Structure 1
């Protein structure tokens, strides 16, 4: 079965950082960032309610009415709205600054009444398009900030909307935060498995015969694997910090689930390391096969040249303009009636003799 060729890893545009010397917590939006849209979900043990394009007033009202609220902010182009959300939920200014500056290393920070987790997310599995996602959660709220639309949260939303009670509706905000983080981590499995299939496909084609496009495909896959490794290694540390956190808003039973997500990240890192080693070996194999092919071509050309060198020498000898009438030593065979076919037969004999010698020496 044919495997799709690797898509080039899309370059990430870095957002504008705070000016040098600016006070901590200064928020500066990327001018190209989309305007934020709030999706609010109120969660209770026996019901849930979804509010599309929610306003800040709706946020304040639902926070007072629902035991658990999840606010999904898509777009980071309005720092005033982000700052107001931070005021409503008491989010730390430094964490909000890291949310707007979308070039952060995955990490987990803990404050008195809430935690902040920043991750890299693949929001489009086919093209492997990256974005930063920030997750805030406290005792009764979860807030996610995305750069643009597209996320792996559909299964979580379906579980919240389910009619039967489940853990997402009966437990605290830390379990909902776990479900969202776990969905992000699990979203890596598909692209990594696709990369593995592409590596196997390229390996099979290379064994049949290396092609020029294989080298390009291998380098593109290697770039993707490096990007995955850069996202997963610090993510593992962030998840480990969540499992060890001694915070009142992270309960002991939820820490067990965070530990399971940590195991998933370790499996992903192992798979990425394996793919990287395979790519390195395939690049070396491609170079070796290419060099062997060049050596084979050079050997064939050398053998052909070795055969034609004596033939060219003979043709040159018989092509000299000596007059046999002037002297009996001046190539008398030129007057022989069978001289031309005899010369061709002799050159054919020389060529066949050289071919037999090369085969006897196992050079062919």
Structure 2
């Protein structure tokens, strides 16, 4: 199936590198039949559209030449090809010459629980097919969805291709809850550290984790706008019957956004708690130093008086003058210490 599209300029700069190995899933199905073939080369995937089957081509990994060839074969606009090959874009939905296009991200918390790992997923849909691309490092694989499609009782087998689109978007959004749960656990650990022994590492974790929360919000919240666009639009590929399912995705995105807002508030509270504990500890140190200074003041005054360079100083030739002076230096601070304690100054 060859369709004329605006030519894609291969000289246009892209930041994504080719993956060493790419896997192509060719899935054809209807209410009674299901076929799932996996290839490591593109040519077997380039098959004509058969209206008796729904077609889903899922590509694991990105290879520039193959992406261009695949998209041009199925009539995907050159601007959408550019989006597929580019990286670090904002999640979005687009409609270019009859192709409905989605760009989203799968998210995962790193093994060290300190960074969010993101991987771009792009989906192109028409009435007859869906073509999806995911980076090789993608964290929300569609293996579970493959298994669901094998089941004849699954709704996707009897519904239109737009229901498969719903399943793809729902699968991506549902995987956001995995890092969200882990982030909650990390927040509890950070809170325990701050409540215990506060140090600079605790503050560094708070600041780092707050940045990761903002990064996750940057990739999650735009999906709400995407789903609302689907619900408001009159796109011919998405039926009114299927739109009710997209409302479920909208609820999940809203819940994820609320959770991230709560995490952000917790991070702000932890930062304030850290600063308050630091100030309290500094106040304790200053109080101890002030008390020590006060207790040393009488000894300093007495030694200063008797250390003056005069010929006649009272008690200078007294037999017990030294011991009396030392006793005064000890007794006066002890009395002061008793007074401070009685007034609850420490």
Tell me which residue corresponds to 2:95. Answer: 110
1:247 aligns with 2:235: yes
Corresponding residue for 2:128? 140
CA shift for structure 1 position 310: 1.7
Residue ranges of structure 2 left out of the alignment (5+ in a row): 1-5
Superposition RMSD on alpha carbons, in Å?
2.5
Question: Using the alignment, how far apart are the partners of 1:289 and 1:318 within structure 2?
Answer: 44
* Contact 2:29–2:53 (CA under 8 A) maintained in structure 1: yes
Q: Write the mapping of 1:165-184 to structure 2, written as runs, cut at 5 A.
A: 165-184=153-172
| CA distance 1:123–1:335, change in 2 (3 Å) | closer
Q: CA shift at 1:347, angstroms?
A: 1.7
TM-score by length of 2: 0.87
Q: Name the counterpart of 2:36.
A: 50
Match of 1:264 among 252, 264, 271: 252
In structure 2, C-alpha distance between the alignment counterparts of 1:151 and 1:206, rounded to whole Å:
32
User: 1:26 — aligned with what?
Assistant: 9
Alignment partners' CA distance in 2, 1:362 and 1:341: 32
Q: How does 1:167-316 map to 2 (within 5 A)?
A: 167-316=155-304
Residue 64 of structure 1 aligns to a residue in which SS? Answer: coil
Equivalent residue for 2:330?
Answer: 348
Deviation by residue 1:260-311 (Cα, 9 ceiling, x = unmatched): 1011101111111111111112112211211221121111111111111221
Say if 1:76 and 1:330 are closer, same or farther in 2 by CA, change over 3 A: same
Q: Structure 1 stretch 54-63 or stretch 249-258: which is displaced more?
A: 54-63
Output the CA distance in 2 between the equivalents of 1:77 and 1:30.
12
Q: How far off is 1:26 after superposition? A: 3.4
For residues 120 and 271 of structure 1, the distance between their equivalents in structure 2, rounded to whole angstroms, comes to 18
Q: Which residue of 1 aligns with 2:145?
A: 156
Gaps of 5+ in 1: 1-22, 324-328
> How many Å apart are 1:124 and its aligned residue?
6.4
User: Counterparts in 2 of 1:50-69, with a 5 A limit?
Assistant: 50-53=36-39, 55-61=41-47, 63-64=49-50, 67-69=53-55
**CA distance in structure 2 between the aligned counterparts of 1:303 and 1:24, rounded to whole angstroms:** 81
Residue 154 of structure 1 deviates from its aligned partner by 2.6
Name the structure 1 match of 2:26. 40
Quick one: distance in 2 between partners of 1:91 and 1:155?
27
The residue number in structure 2 matching 1:339 is 321
In 2, are the aligned partners of 1:62 and 1:69 still within 8 Å (CA)? Answer: no
Question: How many pairs align?
Answer: 334
Give the drift of 1:125. Answer: 6.1
